Amino acid sequence: MNYERERIDTPDGDFLDLDWSRVGSNRLAVVLHGMEGDSKRHYVLGMVKALNRGGWDAVALNFRGCSGECNRKPRFYHSGDTEDLHTAVLHVAAGNEYSKLALIGFSLGGNVILKYLGERDGALHPLIKKAVTFSVPCDLTACEVKITQSGAGLYLKRFLRLLHNKIKMKMQVMPGSVDDNGYNQISTLREFDNRYTAPLHGFKDALDYYEKSSCGPFLLNISVPTLLVNSADDPFLAESAYPVREARENPYFFLEVTDFGGHVGFFAVNRLGEYWSESRALEFLNDR
């Protein structure tokens, strides 16, 4: 599969890279990756291929700084940043090619989608008809604690290494905007977010960022059919990331908790070679 890349400008003078995979459909799914992912991660590629096989065009949104090139601003992306998703939605809708849009997101990208759907509520673009999300940390504060305490040291080291690469790139492209003095002393996401994410994006500190960016408080406002699939064995998710009450009280919001799947690891394969998550997403999108 070969993507066709399109670069679009953001209202604040930055850019977003969209990677398209078209089959000539009048239905489009916008796919969002997780933390330090991109459009070429296996779970995104697999979903895009499954969407195409199922008769959907697909476009994968790369968050700022995740498409292989440093973005233009000191800021980058974060779990509650819904404005870039909105920019992409307005752009793809303006082409008048599609009669229906769906949103699909993984982990951080899923949090962005659920928050976006809930916070816009009555102002949601009318072409958006459904959404599917996987492995979403609905309560960022509790999930940050869970990750730190769960023994997921290898995951943390990987995230912090990748984030460090972004900081070093920004130091080269825009000297003085950030620095990495003492970066090796950072051992948790909260420490990173206190030092970088919060000040770069207008939050008081990491806890303020987590509180304002968690999708949990927005779930009751969702007004289009939306599926959240979280696995019971996900090492990153705290108990509060399984919003049973919200699913019970909101007829548009559906929660499925699988026994297995870890974090974005729904790897059971069907006869078409699709992962379970890909088949489930298509089933939900195509269900009338």
| Catalytic residue set | 107, 234, 263
Check: CB of residue 68 under 8 Å from CB of residue 19.
no
Residue 90: CB atoms within 10 Å: 12
User: Rounded to whole angstroms, how far apart are CA atoms 285 and 277?
Assistant: 12
User: Rounded to whole angstroms, how far apart are CA atoms 40 and 151?
Assistant: 28
Residue 283's φ and ψ, nearest 5 degrees, are -60, -45
**Contacts within 8 Å (CB) and 24+ apart, 170-178:** 170/70, 170/74, 170/76, 173/70, 174/74, 177/74, 178/74
Residue written as tokens 């969702």? Answer: 222
- Strands 27-32, 15-21: parallel, antiparallel or unpaired by DSSP? unpaired
